[in-house]
Amino acid sequence: MLKAWFDENAPMMNPVVASDDGLSLVPYTGGDAGRLTVGVELNKVASNIAIARNMASVHWRSDYFDSIRLGERVAICILANQRNDYFEPGWSFTFSGFDNETVTISQAGVTGKKPGFTP
């Protein structure tokens, strides 16, 4: 849902990480510091949540893969249903799925969805 509301390609300005003692934030200086985007970071958040559930033995490793895609499809369904509620001309949501497939949801419908998927 967040990827539909925010510009995925917007750069992350002044990224920070925890200091060695964990008590403060310091500038991130990794090799990719200048290439971090909102979309990349949102994908990392979703992945980290799913992986953490695996490490906690709450889910199997295969659940990670399927839960990411299920969450994406739920978001598409919610946004597609909302298109019937909003009558502002020209609105649309466009975002990249976890498989880099571009999905666009507008008053005209949903494009770029996977074959066989009906919101």
Give the count of domains, the chain. Answer: 1
pLDDT of the residue at 53: 76
Quick check: is 118 in a domain?
Answer: no
Quick check: is 42 in a domain?
Answer: yes
pLDDT higher than threshold 60 for residue 87: yes
In the chain, the percentage of residues whose pLDDT exceeds 70 is 94
Quick check: is 119 in a domain?
Answer: no
pLDDT higher than threshold 60 for residue 7: yes
pLDDT category of residue 22 using cuts at 50, 70 and 90? very high
User: When comparing pLDDT for 21 and 68, which is higher?
Assistant: 21
Q: What is the CB neighbour count within 10 angstroms for residue 76? A: 23
